[in-house]
Structure 1
């Protein structure tokens, strides 16, 4: 059984025009971030670039950090769909060890690609969404298929989630992911070696 997709915020019913506006705003926000950087994105700038009223942006996101939380939720759900429904080894169909290795590598790459968005989503103190919760649930399910006698699988799942989430999340105040001790590829390779030694 696979864990469910975990939204960072409670889903709500939306009118069709509200859904269209949300998707349009997220597309424009991504373009502005790519062109100018996350630090330069403002509520006014997003409204102007999207050709929508400032009130629409405020009603949709509430705060500037809310824009980034919406972007993060959108990318997080896309990542979770790849894990739950995509091709193996990240998706179903591969042995547990292969899926664990693939998950960690993909997770590090995903967090690195979204690190500015994650950081900006937390600037008003309300962005502590359950980023690691999906990882813990997914690891716990996969560990059912691994022989680890006498060890709490819940505890192992928590430790694995900390290992794959923490190195990048601790650098949220930095703009350059390459300033990490080791590159993203180094972290991904270290994860794979760790998993294969532990449960391979």
Structure 2
């Protein structure tokens, strides 16, 4: 096998991936996240259930693939996009913009994130979380060099656990604006000048 075969997805595998994701998105839109099963996705995609499991390992893997494009867009925005979310603004403005954008992003895919975290409890602390944590720790370090930036980054990310976020939005009836205002209160000590 040549190196190209290892680095590029086979055409039939890419086609199956697209079919599986399209079927999963359709089922999700029609019946909600709770109704999404690997067997039903395979049947809707016209592939064997083994193909779905080989491609995505488990339901959490499938859910994260559905989440992936929005996640890529969000990461591009805070890493390379325009200020204040992206580079070019001060650390206080970037911190606020990041937390507000993360609240919106979490709200938009709350059901998927909730299911992914329920299916794989460690999933919350994988690649995206690490990137968010490093980004927040960097901003906190610029604002307050003496602070424990690693701890504070975890503390600021805690409200984005899907189960808590969904509970606040649905059971407690908190608006997205109220959650953003609360995040502003949490960061007030960090962002206060002087």
TM-score (norm 1): 0.75
Q: SS state of the match for residue 140, structure 1?
A: helix
Aligned Cα root-mean-square deviation (Å): 2.9
1:19-43 superposed Cα distances (whole Å, 9 cap, x missing partner): 3432442233223212210011112
Deviation for aligned residue 1:136: 1.6
TM-score (norm 2): 0.77
Q: Is there any run of 5+ residues in structure 1 with no aligned partner, and where?
A: 1-11
Q: Is the 8 A contact 1:177 1:184 kept in 2?
A: yes
Q: 2:34 aligns with which of 32, 39, 42?
A: 39
Structure 1 residues 173 and 199, CA gap change in structure 2 (3 angstroms): closer
Q: Is the 8 A contact 1:101 1:196 kept in 2?
A: no
Q: Which whole-Å CA distance do the structure 2 matches of 1:176 and 1:100 have between them?
A: 22
1:74-120 superposed Cα distances (whole Å, 9 cap, x missing partner): 43333212211222211112121111100000111112222221222
Aligned to 1:136: 133
Q: Which whole-Å CA distance do the structure 2 matches of 1:52 and 1:89 have between them?
A: 44
Deviation for aligned residue 1:145: 3.4
Instruction: Answer yes or no: is 1:66 the counterpart of 2:58.
Output: no
Q: SS state of the match for residue 163, structure 2?
A: coil
Q: 1:112 aligns with which of 104, 107, 113?
A: 107
Q: 1:15 aligns with which of 9, 18, 22?
A: 9
Q: Which whole-Å CA distance do the structure 2 matches of 1:67 and 1:55 have between them?
A: 13
